[in-house]
Structure 1
Amino acid sequence: MTKKEFIELYAEKGGFTKKEAERAVALFLDTVEDTLLKGDSITFVGWGKWEVKERASREVRNPQTKERMTIPGKKAVKFKVGKLLADRVKEM
């Protein structure tokens, strides 16, 4: 589903205009981004948790040349699904 399709579905389910739905979705995504950029996590109990995790650097080997190289560490956004959502998806 694309962002545009999501906004249309959100507007339909919520009884909003597409303009209102687009504003609400944009505000939600901006708030999630701002929160993660501050280093805080976001938890919706039963639904899931977003957080920024530090990935350590690691050594890998190029399978073609067998050359060893180091991939530097980085920060990455992780999402961990909550139990209620996981159970509902499992029942699909």
Structure 2
Amino acid sequence: MANSAAKPMTKTQLVSAVADQMGGDKKTATAALDAIAAVVSREVASGGAVTLPGIGKVACRARPERQVRNPQTQEMMTKPADKQVKVTVAKALKDVVNS
């Protein structure tokens, strides 16, 4: 199932793979993936972080107000403070990929 340089796995393909891995049906796998996505979204949106064992850590990082340059006009402008989602890949996943 390695898609080295191909298109990313779709949700349908992921659901099928998870259902096969669990020995369950696609409805259960879909519910599990949707629940994980909802929990991660809710936690990260509130400023927290979630560690997905063997995959990585998803966290929210606040960025302060800063000066940026418009590349077309070269004009400096103030960009308001915002939040950025950061994903840190787990060492275990890096080791699997590089082995």
The runs of 5 or more residues in structure 1 that have no matched partner are none
For residues 85 and 34 of structure 1, do their structure 2 counterparts lie closer, same or farther at Cα, with a shift above 3 Å needed?
same
Runs of 4+ deviating beyond 4 Å: none
The 2-side partners of 1:74 and 1:59 are apart by: 13
The root-mean-square deviation of aligned C-alpha atoms, in Å, is 1.8
Q: Could you say which structure has the higher helix fraction?
A: 1
Q: Identity, % of aligned pairs?
A: 38
Cα distance 1:46–1:16, how it changes in 2: closer, same or farther (>3 A)?
Answer: closer
1:25 and 2:25 aligned: no
* 5+ long unaligned stretches in structure 2: 1-8
Question: Cα 1:32–1:57, aligned 2, differ >3 Å: closer, same or farther?
Answer: same
Normalized against structure 2, the TM-score is what?
0.76
Point out which structure has higher relative CO (alpha carbons under 8 A, 6+ apart): 1
TM-score scaled by structure 1? 0.81
Write the distance in 2 (CA, Å) between the matches of 1:72 and 1:18.
Answer: 43
